[in-house]
Structure 1
């Protein structure tokens, strides 16, 4: 990772103030990719509100449903639109505030050692082919710089608290796309992309 600043050139950059330094060594400690979904207002796509939330510019009066978000400071490393466009808000070298209270393989505070990817969507709407393709490409790009060993949904690292990416996220489709990527062929056997890994 020598010289890599954590910003991927293929993503459109929107800097978020909602991040801090990771506690662990770089890049050795960044081993988990967390998949989320988000839409604001819920179930509506294409607007500016997700980016506004992730960059701390939210107009809480724009929709009644935003009242509960007031004062919330969150971010994600990446956001993938319905058409597959990829935005980046925090350097992957830094800690984005996406997972909240979470635990994976007995280790709490997943923000410390994970990269967060938000997909524009909801638990009740199927994701687009362009999003799966972009997510697979992004995963390949990140594996060039970080020793990712596991991929989990937010629901798997915060069970009972979170439900995303939800029942309509097609893990098999995502895994098949990863297997087709030349950069992951050798590593696919060791990449733990399984729902509910112990």
Structure 2
């Protein structure tokens, strides 16, 4: 399977981040983590998310940026409000999205997970295009890595409780799982 060999989704725009590393030799890719991000908080569109994940964020552009400008983080994928997908890190590599985290007693989720950011905020509904792209992409990833099953699709808040709240209460988990089961789900946006 091409995805398992290359780690790259052809429908995603490639925007390489320097914030990644190799997975441990014994790490299986067996978890998908859903996040949300908006920069500045609550504002959508613009280049700030990509700049942030690529260490090019100008701290002088917004007061909030001063607090995060020195952080080095990334995700494998970002799904914009219009459904566009941007890939920052090969799925074969370890992106820096989960931080201090634990899933089913296993720590350091970055070692064995794929992180997908949705452009959004905890209390703001996500778009139809985002759900369609997320579901189609999750199905493609689960086909490449059968170890990732629907019960191994989780939120950042679930693996880092008390520290993280995303994807937040506005994320509709039943809708997402329903789209995964739908034989007529939409394909990811090119």
The two structures have a TM-score, normalised by structure 1, of: 0.88
Within-5 A mapping of 1:1-198: 1=1, 4-25=5-26, 29-147=28-146, 148-149=148-149, 150-181=152-183
Give, in angstroms, the shift of residue 181 of structure 1. 3.9
In the alignment of these two chains, the number of paired residues is: 181
Measured in 2, the distance between the counterparts of 1:143 and 1:9 equals 16
Q: Structure 1, residues 31-89: CA drift from partner, whole Å, max 9, x if none?
A: 10000000000000011000100111111111011111021000000000001001100
Give, in angstroms, the shift of residue 182 of structure 1. 7.4
**RMSD between aligned residues:** 1.5
Distance 1:181-1:76 versus aligned 2 partners, 3 A rule: farther
SS at match of 2:144: coil
Aligned to 1:191: none
SS at match of 2:125: coil
Distance 1:181-1:96 versus aligned 2 partners, 3 A rule: farther
Asked if 1 retains the 8 angstrom alpha-carbon contact of 2:102 and 2:160, the reply is yes
The two structures have a TM-score, normalised by structure 2, of: 0.91
User: Where do 5+ consecutive residues of structure 1 fail to align?
Assistant: 184-198
User: Where do 5+ consecutive residues of structure 2 fail to align?
Assistant: 186-190
Asked if 2 retains the 8 angstrom alpha-carbon contact of 1:34 and 1:151, the reply is yes
SS at match of 1:127: coil
Asked if 2 retains the 8 angstrom alpha-carbon contact of 1:7 and 1:91, the reply is yes
Measured in 2, the distance between the counterparts of 1:174 and 1:5 equals 26
Query: Once superposed, which parts of structure 1, at least 4 consecutive aligned residues long, lie more than 6 Å away?
Result: none
